[in-house]
Amino acid sequence: MLISTKAKFFLPLGARRSTVTRLRAEQRGFAQVTGPETIPEENDRPFTIPLAEESFQTYNLDPPPYFVETTKNQLKQLYRDMIVIRRMELGADQLYKERKIRGFCHLSTGQEAVAVGIEHAISKEDKLITAYRSHGFTYMRGGTIRSIIGELLGCRDGIAHGKGGSMHMYSKSYFGGNGIVGANVPLRAGIALAQQYDETGNVTINLYGDGAANQGQVHEAFNMAKLWNLPVIFGCENNKYGMGTSDKRASAMTEYYKRGQYIPGLRIDGMDVLAVLTAVKHGRDFVKRGNGPLVYEYVTYRFAGHSMSDPGIAYRSRAELQKTRENDPLTNLKMKLVDWGIITEDEAKAIEKEVRRFVNEEVENAKQMPAPEASLDVLFEDIYVPGSEPSQRRGRTVDETWC
Task: Give the CATH number, domain containing residue 104.
Answer: 3.40.50.970
- Whether 253 is covered by a domain: the verdict is yes
In sequence order, what are the residues at sequence separation of 6 or more whose Cβ sits closer than 8 angstroms to the Cβ of residue 352?
83
Query: CB–CB of 149/362 below 8 Å?
Result: yes
DSSP type of residue 72: H
Domain count across the chain? 1
At residue 37, the pLDDT reads 52
- Whether 247 is covered by a domain: the verdict is yes
DSSP type of residue 289: I
- Weakly modelled stretches of the chain, pLDDT under 50: 1-36
- Whether 40 is covered by a domain: the verdict is no
Of 164, 125, 165, nearest in space to 141 by CA: 125
What is the rounded CA–CA span in Å between residue 306 and residue 304? 7
Q: Which domain holds residue 110?
A: 47-372
At residue 34, the pLDDT reads 47
- Whether 401 is covered by a domain: the verdict is no
Give CA separation, 269 vs 193, 248, 266, in Å: 29, 18, 10
At residue 313, the pLDDT reads 82
- Whether 16 is covered by a domain: the verdict is no
- Whether 356 is covered by a domain: the verdict is yes
**β-strands 265-269, 294-299 pairing:** parallel
At residue 148, the 3 state secondary structure works out as helix
Give CA separation, 311 vs 101, 315, 318, in Å: 17, 10, 11
Of 32, 52, 45, nearest in space to 2 by CA: 45
- Whether 224 is covered by a domain: the verdict is yes
- Whether 127 is covered by a domain: the verdict is yes
At residue 310, the pLDDT reads 79
